[in-house]
A and B are shown apart, each in its own frame.
Chain A
């Protein structure tokens, strides 16, 4: 199970955070700060996996944005890397060649997509089509209501 997912910029600005295990606010802040430091200090050719505290961390950089997931001991690092990639694909499809700015200004949309893809830290739907269908359905309803 995924413990949390962070999106942050090269400058160390948090863009999105999703916690799947109850964590106190103070602890969250500390973990985010520490982990960002560790990940940002790593060089480009280095391994995408870390052992950090009692967790495994999988991260990947897309353009200026780092996607960073903390998973548990028995979880598979490589598939988590693909999970990140699938999430990026979903964002890309939804926003149309997504960039950091899309996520900064529409972060709630990024959250909705994530919630449709993962539920409580586990993959619920790996089909790109059906995730986006669910999102569009909700969006459509919103538009209808906006018009009404």
Chain B
């Protein structure tokens, strides 16, 4: 076919009157080249876009005439082509010239052909139909004896070539792999690589030839073949493990400077080649210890060799670090790589700092202490004037977000979000915030407010999953009806407030979310009644409301309701969405509810819900509820487990105020990243539940079986929300606190397990069991449940309390429970849980009497050195006979001290007659807030130099611990210091005072004297620790 095409082209009249004798060409050349010059100069001189357009249109029409004129020579055509390229670059259409570009490549001499090929590669794309006309030219040039022609053909083939025409040139290119010239072999390899990218099947048979290229005598050809290998190894690394040795050898030679000097770049040997090889090794060594072992040496050498202070060595270092962290880990290499990251992060050069942050982001999940090490730099970058740096810092923080630092991190993200205009950034950030909010939200108010921000900024562009998940969450709740209600109530109230603001526009999606939520709020009846009585506007039919809503979207006009604003604070919130609430109260709540959902469904709810809308699940769940074991199932699903410790510690440091602020921010950002939290952090993705999401997952699984139309979905939801509000259901949940019920709970969970085996993966179920334990605290349910797999039933009540806690936090150590006060009615005992990030005090109150206690309340007096935060759900009005409740407080220390007391009281009413109060007190020691700090010796060295406060003291050792190891062991056990290293008669230890004040200890033994040397960033901490040390050493 292309044969014919070519003939047709040749036959075109008047095109090939080239090589006319005389001064023609020379004159033409001069005039044409000057015409490009004058065109360029003309354009540059212009000031307005309009003038430019005029000039270019003139130029284009003159070019159009010239290229199609029969008298135009190929030489002139070449000049025309250059001007056409220029016009296209300015953004004007020159497509009339494309065919002529192909002709020029076909017919021109070398000089013209080169421009023709260039124009073709710039004008056309891979699937352009005109490209077919080029195939024969390429085939011809590939067979040419002229080296330059062959190279041009190979170049154009690697740029743009129609997929379906590959077979026509493939054998020719394969032949070129044996060409005598290095440049041809190299280009042939790269052309085949491009074929591999666009049509991998077509080059499969020549894999063996790639191996030959890898072994080519010329470095350039070998380097070109690495592109193919990188690609193929990325697709299937297991097929190329046998080549690891070869790649390692090549890299060794390159690093060792064995390559010709011409491959050096600023006296660094072949950096591009090194980076290719490092990337290949990273892929080969991933999750493969044996293969990784082959490359440890060369990686070590690469890290060592790259000492020159040039950007290109940093490029190699960066790749090397990446590789070290990708392959099977070797601690020695990881340490060196971590040091390298430090070089990047601490560099004054902004590019290197940025890449340092990127590297941190990459390794942070493997090595969270690295973030701690660089926390001050990270804090600085958070306020960096360059938004790119800020953004990367947020990306880093996103990876280390946990229940404790969520509020600070999300706040930072929102700040950035409000400044962003680029859609891609907004979509990305909004998704992350929503994800974190669902996972770690500390409370309802925060969650709703955060989601409001998400919707109002990202509403138009965000992923539809976000509103879907959010609505599902609101609809299904998380099993504590009271909290669900509060959540919904809060959501609605916040929307009313938002809608009350004038001249504010909300994205369509946000309005949809609001109106969706609005429609099903039968539980607001009480408020509506109140609102109506205080003069709120009466009910209006749904369609009218919708119209109003839409009109409000443009202009918020509150005139009709102006009066109601003044009547009370509450009514102020009521308009305009308050109208719909009025409807519910007017007696036909259910009916209007239905009507509204129907109308809403038409209004675009459909868009919000995918094929697997949530309600089929809800329905199937309703079915379950009517079955034998309704309530316990709810409890299993319960998931509000994150023990949230609000952290706004102040650290007393002798630094400037700004410094202090940074420290403060650091302590709130890096909380939970401490030494021991490595496990937490790594486990985070697996074990920590999404605060809200997990439940819907289960239902998703269940819903697989049920299908339903949208109609059903909407109406059944509204009915369900009614059901959920029914009184017996409500009381049922509260009822459910007796011991007998609890046993039922574990039974049920087993039952459920066997029932739902087919629906839930096993792992998922286990996490439910263990997660249900902590969740109870967040509930109104103060009872401690034995998880199904928990310890024997014979254990005493207090200790079982502790042990079930251990189920939750196996790595936390806790003290024995001690009775702190009692009388004939109750007994209070307490114990400490030394969590990684705080001290958790638990008071368990046992009602010994056979009577119900009312208004049981435990309060802790404010103490000077401590910040005490009540864990959710600590106040329960009713305490049944012979039951135990526990109250949890997280305690943070505000400044170092030796010992302190925490006092409080428990109060209760008995039989509505007299109230009783019982005081208690608990002793806290500094050691309750000391945690090991696991760092490397290198980091110890760095930190040591950076700390200003130190204390030295010699302590006499008792005979029993005459040797250094045993002395250190004592410190480790009694003070929770971490032993980093013991070198001869010296030892390095480290610890931190919560939330994150590090303290280092250097020990040296002389005969029976132990020289202790403390250093810390805090001025008083070394003294206090020394005191504790002395006490311990003397005591033992």
Asked whether B111 lies within 8 Å of A126 as measured between CB atoms, the reply is no
A26 to B193, CA, bound (A): 28
Minimum Cβ distance to chain A for residue B258 (Å): 16
A-side contacts of B151, CB under 8 Å: 134, 138
From A15, A43, A48, A112, give the contact of B118 (CB < 8 A).
A112
Chain A, interface residues (CB within 8 Å), range = 35 or more
| B104 interfacial contact with A, CB 8 Å | no
- Which label, helix, strand, loop or mixed, suits the secondary structure of the B interface? helix
Q: With A and B bound together, what is the CA distance between A48 and B85 in angstroms?
A: 29
Q: Across the interface, name the chain B residue whose C-beta is closest to A104.
A: B40
The residue in chain A whose Cβ has the minimal distance to the Cβ of B428 is A51
Let me know if A29 is at the binding interface, CB within 8 A.
Answer: yes
Distance A38 CA – B82 CA, assembled complex (angstroms): 29
Cross-chain contact B350 with A46 (CB below 8 angstroms): yes
Asked whether B314 is an interface residue with its Cβ less than 8 Å from the other chain, the reply is yes
Write the chain A residue with the least CB distance to B121: A115
Closest to B95 in A: A25
Instruction: Quote the shortest CB–CB distance from B320 to chain A (angstroms).
Output: 11
Q: Is the CB of A120 within 8 A of B312?
A: no
Chain A residues, Cβ within 8 Å of B122: 17-18, 111
B351–A48 CB distance below 8 A: yes
The listed residue (B36, B160, B314) touching A105 by CB distance below 8 A is B36
**Is B561's beta carbon under 8 Å from chain A?**
no
Smallest Cβ distance from A82 to chain B, in angstroms?
Answer: 5
Q: Identify A50's interface contact among B85, B109, B311, B388, CB under 8 A.
A: B388
How distant is the Cα of A101 from the Cα of B1006 in the complex, in angstroms? Answer: 76
Return the chain A residue nearest B424 by Cβ.
Answer: A53
Quick check: B187 and A119 within 8 Å, CB to CB? yes
Cβ-defined contact, B111 with A146, below 8 A: yes
Task: Judge whether B183 is part of the interface by a CB distance below 8 angstroms.
Answer: yes
- Cα–Cα distance between A126 and B260 once the two chains are bound (Å): 12
A24 to B127, CA, bound (A): 10
Chain A residue contacts of B187, Cβ below 8 A: 119, 124
Say whether, besides A52-B424, A122-B193, A138-B148, A78 and B318 are in contact (CB < 8 Å): yes
| A-contacting residues, B176-232, CB 8 Å | 183, 186-187, 190-191, 193-194, 220, 223-224, 227
Looking at the assembled complex, report how far the CB atom of B193 sits from the nearest CB atom of chain A, in whole angstroms: 7
Assess the A81–B270 pair: CB atoms within 8 A: no
Determine if B227 and A122 form an interchain contact, defined as CB atoms under 8 angstroms apart. Answer: yes
Chain B's nearest CB lies how many Å from the CB of A138?
5
Bound-state CA distance A74–B354 (Å) is 15
Whether the Cβ atoms of A46 and B158 lie closer than 8 Å is no
Cβ-closest chain A residue relative to B317: A78
Contact pick for B311, options A81, A120, A126, A130, CB 8 Å: A81
Residues in B whose Cβ lies below 8 Å from that of A16: 89
* Distance in angstroms between the alpha carbons of A24 and B422 in the assembled complex: 22
Residues of A within 8 A of B271 (CB): 79, 82, 126
Contact between A124 and B37, CB atoms less than 8 A apart: no
Q: Is B159 an interface residue (CB 8 A)?
A: yes
Once the chains are docked, how many angstroms separate the CA of A47 from the CA of B385? 10
Known: A47-B386, A47-B389, A82-B265. 19 other contacts (CB 8 A): A29-B91, A38-B422, A46-B388, A54-B424, A76-B315, A81-B311, A81-B315, A105-B37, A108-B118, A115-B155, A119-B190, A120-B190, A122-B227, A124-B190, A124-B224, A126-B263, A127-B262, A127-B263, A142-B114
Sample 17 A-B pairs with CB under 8 A, ordered by A number.
Answer: A14-B89, A22-B126, A22-B160, A49-B354, A50-B388, A54-B424, A77-B315, A78-B355, A79-B272, A79-B312, A105-B37, A108-B85, A111-B118, A125-B186, A126-B265, A126-B272, A126-B273
A residues at B contact (CB < 8 Å)? 14-20, 22-24, 29, 38, 42-43, 45-54, 74, 76-79, 81-83, 86, 104-105, 107-108, 111-112, 115, 119-120, 122-130, 134, 137-138, 141-142, 145-146
User: Sorted from nearest, which 3 A-B pairs have the closest CB atoms?
Assistant: A78-B315, A79-B315, A142-B111
